[in-house]
Chain A
């Protein structure tokens, strides 16, 4: 029984990193109803900038963290200005393909910066394990879990207790009406995008410092894991992102212990597929930020 609980605990810890990644994704999708495939590569740009400072000048860990988040926000704003703002509502597919094109661009820019496959990344804590009775946890994963909970709480306050959050929710509800009531839709969306990229940057930094290395696969990894976690939890839902991430982590770690590393991803995709077929809205059914997903019309990803 103890090994099973330990594995589940490990899964929850890994899952908290997925949950963090999914939060940023869910925020963008929840507000814009459009998929930003460049989400992972934006994180990668920030992380690579931080790594560059770390290996070239031996920058301290907090500088690396700040640069990672700032770089991710910069890349995110670039993506929003180029792929989302000029295309307008009703071009969900074009935005997605465009963000994929920028994925290629950001990834190549990162690789031009640091061409090797992997680089060391500063660690946040000592690698000693903390013991909780018969169980053990890694302290860096505890930080990740704490960060996830703190960011979720902050996001909740932001969405439901501030004018900015009110504006955001109004846009989700009906962007035309929001604009008529004096909300600057463009700038609110840009801010939401920057915020999501910042959350992604934090997630990226915490994951990399737990792994103590950064690889060229980071962009693809972050986009895929964030997307899967968001889909499992529920499209564009904030609590869904957290639950989806944790569920994904538990499934992955359990199937890895039982069947080995290749089956780990297979199980994750299998669960995602079955879940989508049986319950297309994800665990949380309809979304929390908004419940309407446009179904009619040639472009089904727009707010209708």
Chain B
């Protein structure tokens, strides 16, 4: 596999984490413009742990995810009582504030005679753990997809759990969910925390993939894109946001077919797509249909065919 393709696939994998994070909140019916903040927090935390404190990679990733989840809890407590646009704008305000705080954040240590660490608007270069430990690009890609697979498996389990049902119930109608005994606020807080941790994990991977992060990467554009991925790909399953990312980065950003006109093509495609399918390509109805086809049992043998009513004895 050549380096270019590996790079694109790794990029798709990493961005999928932010898209999944926004998707998780979409399940509960909330729109967040701010998931990039947790991605940024995860990236900086993981970078600080491995590049500055010289601790192992897995610890860095874990710390990134934990920091993302903790930050989401912190923001979720005051904001999750808000609805719709108010929640969306509150998350936007938070994320932009975080980005500006990273512009002001300076924390460096000397390593091999050179300063290492976040340096305000200049960013945080030399997160070189991957290179220093001889992890090849392909190996790192497998790590990314391994973790992405684990996250998707987590979503698979979630969809089958009471918690997952509660998410979708709240997404449909939170008043009705509350009337059915779902602790709406607590369930939403869990969703926000999980979403923050997923974004934080992705951020840690991103920092080590690019070896360099700067505040400007984590602007509103990233947040709105990750939200759009879920809506393009579809809200039916966790594969929806992945499909969205693959379409945008895989088809448009990485090929040179539409050079100069990429955004015009992408924008038009999405707008037309949303007219035809307002809930994305893989929407709930399609997913349900696929699931029915997959799980359909083979027809019973002719001998056991009975007329209705005679069977019960």
Contacts and interface: CB of A to CB of B under 8 A. Distances in A.
A277 B97 contact: no
Contacts of B275: 82, 86-87, 98
Contacts of B267: 101-106, 108
A244 B274 CA distance: 32
A201 B172 CA distance: 38
A39 interface: no
B94 interface: yes
Interface in A62-121: 82-83, 86-87, 91-98, 100-109, 112
B83 A295 contact: yes
A277 B78 contact: yes
Contacts of A43: none
Given A97-B270, A105-B267, A91 B278 contact: yes
Interface string A263-304: 101100110110011001000000000000101111011000
B122 interface: no
A83 B275 CA distance: 8
B143 interface: no
Contacts of B31: 93, 96
B38 to A, nearest CB: 16
A94 B270 CA distance: 10
Contacts of A100: 224, 228
A203 interface: no
B84 interface: yes
B227 A107 contact: no
Contacts of A91: 278
A220 interface: yes
Interface range for A: 35 or more
A109 B262 CA distance: 10
Contacts of B94: 269, 273
Contacts of B84: 92, 293, 295, 300-301
Contact of A108 (B82, B227, B264): B264
Interface in B78-136: 78-79, 82-86, 88-90, 93-94, 96-97, 100-101, 103-104
Nearest to B278: A94
Contacts of A298: 29, 171-173
A98 B273 CA distance: 9
Given A97-B228, A296-B173, A276 B262 contact: no
Nearest to A94: B278
A251 to B, nearest CB: 13
Contacts of A95: 274
B263 interface: yes
Contacts of B263: 104-105, 107-108
B271 interface: yes
A82 B93 contact: no
Contact of B93 (A108, A235, A276, A296): A276
B89 A82 contact: no
Nearest to B121: A262
- B interface SS class: helix
A102 B83 contact: no
Contacts of A87: 274-275, 278
B278 A82 contact: no
A220 B220 contact: yes
A157 B93 CA distance: 34
Interface in A221-268: 224, 227-228, 231, 235, 262-263, 265-266
Contact of B86 (A105, A262, A280): A280
A35 interface: yes
A101 B97 contact: no
A82 B270 CA distance: 11
Contacts of A263: 100
Interface in B221-239: 221, 224, 227-228, 231-232
A37 interface: yes
B260 A112 contact: yes
B157 to A, nearest CB: 24
A101 B79 contact: no
Contacts of A105: 263-264, 266-268, 271
B175 interface: yes
Nearest to A105: B267
Given A262-B100, A265-B100, A266-B100, A101 B228 contact: yes
A96 B278 CA distance: 11
Contact of A273 (B97, B232, B266, B270): B97
Contacts of A262: 100, 103-104
B153 interface: no
B209 to A, nearest CB: 24
B261 interface: yes
A96 B231 CA distance: 11
Given A102-B271, A107-B263, A296-B175, A94 B279 contact: yes
Interface of B: 29, 31, 78-79, 82-86, 88-90, 93-94, 96-97, 100-101, 103-104, 171-176, 220-221, 224, 227-228, 231-232, 260-264, 266-271, 274-275, 278-279
Given A270-B97, A300-B83, 4 more contacts: A265-B100, A276-B89, A297-B173, A298-B171
Nearest 10 A-B pairs (CB), nearest first?
A105-B267, A101-B270, A108-B263, A300-B84, A104-B263, A94-B278, A273-B93, A104-B267, A101-B267, A269-B97
Interface of A: 29, 35, 37, 82-83, 86-87, 91-98, 100-109, 112, 220, 224, 227-228, 231, 235, 262-263, 265-266, 269-270, 272-273, 276-277, 280, 293, 295-298, 300-301
14 contacts: A35-B88, A83-B271, A86-B275, A91-B278, A93-B231, A101-B267, A101-B274, A105-B268, A108-B260, A262-B103, A266-B97, A266-B100, A270-B93, A296-B175
